[in-house]
Amino acid sequence: MIVARGLEKIYTSGGRPLPVLRGIDLEIDDREIAAVVGPSGSGKTTLLGLLAGLDVPTSGSVRIDGTRIFDLGEDERARFRARNVGFVFQSFHLLPALTALDNVRVPLELLGEGGAEGEERARALLERVGLAQRTDHYPSQLSGGEQQRVAVARAFVSRPRLLFADEPTGNLDRVTGENIVRLLEELNREVETTLILVTHDMQLAERAHRTIRLADGSLVR
């Protein structure tokens, strides 16, 4: 369970404080699929970054299964992510020098589980997302949809309890995007992950269990 209390983030722009999030309180249950929606600049990505511990808030706290993540140091947070969190990004963010298989293995390597068993798991997941034939291809040799499927496999390979997806279909055409969403939903059920989606796509948002609306840095009830 994720609990956020009084989350506030103020950036400084041109010497002036620029509040991006103002006092966010929210809870997300285990295995829930939550969609964060709102217009550009409403603070969606910032909220996601804070919930995942990629950034620190100006004030407020986030508790994930009882762990107050901002009480952890940067490196401890990194290790926490490695164990508990998966990511899918709008622009895929695969490591370009690694093959599809090696990209999927990265989270396991970080947990010290990159051995033969890990490789098997990575291979199985790639098969699961329909890329059994493309394991040795580099990202530049894959289409956008294929890259995103590799990213999805990477996100699930360590069986994280939380999965954050930032506009996962934003750079994909409708059909490919639909496939990715279906994949996310299926894997979410299989792995029993909590999924937090940031999206512009209202159709996608409606498929979530719950929609969190943001406007101008605040929650809209």
Partner 1 sequence: MISFLASREARSALPRVGPYMLSISLGVAALVSIHSFRQDVSRSVRSEAQVLMGADARLTTSAPPADGLTALVDSLAGAGHEIGRVTSAVSMAGAGIREAVRLVQLRAVEGGWPFYGEVETRPAGAWSRVVEPGVVLVDEALLTQLALELGDTLAVGSGAFEIVGAVREIPTEVGLQTAVGPRVWMGAPDLEAADVVGLGSLARYQTYVVMPDRVDRAAVETWYADVFAAESAEFSTAVAEARDLTDAVGFLGQYLSLVGLAALLLGGVGVGSAIRVFVNERLRSVAVLRCLGASQNQVFGVYLLQAAGLGLLGSFVGAIFGVLLQQLLPILLVDLLPVAIQPRIDAVTIMAGIAIGVWVSVVFALIPLLRVREVPPLRALRADVDVDGRGSRLLRAGAVALLAGSILGTSVLEAPSTRDGLAFAAALAVTVAVLWMAALAGIRATRALLPERAPWILRQGVSSLFRPGNQTVAVVLALGFGIFIIGVVGSVQQNLASSLAIDASTSRANLLLFDVQTDQIEGVEALFPDSVRATVETTPLVPSRIVGVKGVERAAFDSIRYDDRPASWAVRREYRNSWRAELGPGEELVAGQWWDDAPEAPDGVVRVSLERDVADDLRVGIGDRITWDAGGRRVESEVTSLRTVDWTRFETNFFALFEPGTIDDLPTTWVLLGRAGNIEARSALQGRIVRAFPNVSMVDLGRIQDAVDRILSNVDRAIGFLAGFAAVAGLLVLAGALAVTRGERLREAALLRTLGTDGNRLLGILGIEYTLLAGLACVVGLGLATGASWLVTTQLFAIEFSAGLGRLALLGAGVLALTLGTGWWGSRDLLANPPLQVLREGD
Would you tell me how many other CB atoms lie within 10 Å of the CB of residue 139?
19
Residue in 169, 171, 176 with CA at minimum distance from that of residue 129: 176
Residue in 80, 45, 48, 51 with CA at minimum distance from that of residue 63: 51
Instruction: Name the residue nearer to partner 1 (CB basis): 61 or 211.
Output: 61
Smallest gap, in angstroms, from Cβ of residue 130 to partner 1? 22
Instruction: Name the residue nearer to partner 1 (CB basis): 90 or 211.
Output: 90
Instruction: Name the residue nearer to partner 1 (CB basis): 68 or 83.
Output: 83
Widest pairwise Cα distance in the chain: 53
Q: How far apart are CA 157 and CA 105, in angstroms?
A: 8
Q: Which residues of this protein are in contact with partner 1, per CB under 8 A?
A: 45, 49, 52, 54-56, 74-76, 78-83, 85, 87, 89, 91, 93, 95-98, 102, 106-107, 109-110, 114, 138, 140, 154, 171
Instruction: Name the residue nearer to partner 1 (CB basis): 41 or 211.
Output: 41
Smallest gap, in angstroms, from Cβ of residue 166 to partner 1? 9
Smallest gap, in angstroms, from Cβ of residue 207 to partner 1? 25
| 210-215 and 33-37 beta bridge pairing | parallel
Smallest gap, in angstroms, from Cβ of residue 93 to partner 1? 5
How far CA 194 is from CA of 128, 210, 216, in Å, comes to: 20, 12, 26
Instruction: Name the residue nearer to partner 1 (CB basis): 81 or 149.
Output: 81
Q: How far apart are CA 152 and CA 104, in angstroms?
A: 9
